[in-house]
Amino acid sequence: MMNQIVQGVLLGGYYALIACGLSFMFSVMRIINLAHGSLAVLSAFALWLLASRFHIPPFLGLLVVLPLMAVIGWALQRFLLERSARGGALLPILTTFGLAIVIDNVLFEQFGADTRSLAPFIGSLSYDSWEWPGSIYVGKLAVIIFIAAVLLLGGLQLFLTRTGLGRSIRATSEDPDTAGLVGVDARRANAVAAAIAMVTVGLAGAFLGMRATFDPYAGATQLLFAFEAAVIGGAGSLWGTLIGGIVLALAQTLGATVHPQGFLIGGHLAFLIVLFIRLYTSGLGLRGLLGLASGKAS
C-alpha cells in the first residue's frame, strides 16, 4: 500500500507538470487550450526527431525544443488566440479544438501511426530506481519529474509575484484595460504568458516521451489528465495544480489495485466527486453555476 502511495504521488508530479500550463493559460488569459495535449505530443515528437535523426539526447534537445515552444506560444497568441478572442469567449475554445485536430493529423502524416518513446535515448534512466526503506523502489525518472514539477510551479509562482513582468501578467489577467492605463502592454503580457505556458507544455511533453510511449493521437488523453488535475486542484491555483495532480494519480493507482482496468475509472471518479462537491458547496447548484458561467462569458 505504501508503495502504491509513493508511486501515485510521484505520478502526480507528472500530471501537475502537464496541468500547470493549462491552468496558467486559463487563469491568466481566460483561455481553455484544448490543443494542450497535442502540443505536448508535438514537443515529444520534436525531441524524438532530434534524438533519432541527429543523435541529440532528449535532455540536450530541450535546449532547442523549449525555445521553439516559446516561439510557438507567442505566435499562437498573437496570430490566432488574440484574434479569435475578439469573437467572444467561446471562439478560442473552438479555435484550439481545431488546432488540436490539425496538429494530430500533421503528426500522423509525418510520423505515421507507430508508437514511439524517448526511453531508448536516455540510457538506463528510464528503468533505474532507488530502493527506499520498506523495500519501496522508486524510479529515478519519476523522482526527477516530480522535482521538475515542484521547481517549475515554484519558479512560476516566484516569477508572477516577484518580477515586474509577472506583475504585468497578473494585472492583465485581472483587468486588461486598466493594465494598459498604468503602462502595461497587455498584448505583450498575454503573448509572454502564452510563451511561458508552451514552455511548460514542452517540458511535460519531454517527460511524457521519456516515461511512456506516445503516438500522434496521444494528445487527447494528456489533455484529459491535465484537465482533470487542473479542475481537482482548482483551476488557476499553481500549488493547487500539484495537489490536483497527486489526487488524480492516487485515485488512478487506487483504481488499478481494485481492478486491472480501474486505472482510468479511478481518476475519473475522483474528478467527478471533486466537481460535484464544488457544485454542492458553492451553494449555487448546477443551474446557478451555469448561470454564472454564461454571465462571465458575456
Pairing relationship of beta strands 136-139 and 129-132 according to DSSP bridges: antiparallel
Distance of CA 76 to the CA centre of its chain: 16
Smallest separation, CB 176 to another protein (Å)? 10
Q: How many residues bind another protein (CB under 8 A)?
A: 18
Beta bridge partners of 130: 138
Q: What amino acid occupies position 210? A: M
Smallest separation, CB 187 to another protein (Å)? 9
Say how far apart CA 264 and CA 39 lie, in whole Å: 22
Q: Among 180, 213, 269, 278, which residue sits at the site for another protein (rule: CB under 8 A)?
A: 180
Which CB atom, from 140 or from 170, has the smaller least distance to another protein? Answer: 170
- As given in the structure block, the three cell numbers for residue 284 are 449555487
Say how far apart CA 15 and CA 264 lie, in whole Å: 13
Residues in 182-201 at the binding interface with another protein, rule: CB under 8 A: 182-186
CB atoms under 10 Å from CB of 90, counted, come to 11
Smallest separation, CB 23 to another protein (Å)? 16
Per CB under 8 A, 175 contacts another protein: yes
Helices 91-111, 219-233: crossing angle, 10 deg rounding:
140
User: Taking contact as CB under 8 A, which single stretch among the options 1-9, 76-84, 164-172, 276-284 is the one that binds another protein?
Assistant: 164-172
User: Taking contact as CB under 8 A, which single stretch among the options 147-155, 181-189, 209-217, 273-281 is the one that binds another protein?
Assistant: 181-189
Q: What amino acid occupies position 253? A: T
Per CB under 8 A, 78 contacts another protein: no
Per CB under 8 A, 164 contacts another protein: yes
Smallest separation, CB 167 to another protein (Å)? 6
Smallest separation, CB 78 to another protein (Å)? 15
User: Taking contact as CB under 8 A, which single stretch among the options 115-123, 129-137, 173-181, 265-273 is the one that binds another protein?
Assistant: 173-181
Residue appearing with cell numbers 505530443: 41
Cα angle 56-59-68, degrees, rounded to a multiple of 5: 80
Say how far apart CA 74 and CA 196 lie, in whole Å: 9
Counting DSSP H helices and E strands in the chain, the numbers are 13, 2
Q: Among 56, 179, 210, 251, which residue sits at the site for another protein (rule: CB under 8 A)?
A: 179
Which CB atom, from 29 or from 171, has the smaller least distance to another protein? Answer: 171
Smallest separation, CB 152 to another protein (Å)? 22
Which residue ranges make up the site for another protein (CB under 8 A)? 161, 164, 167-168, 170-171, 174-175, 177-186
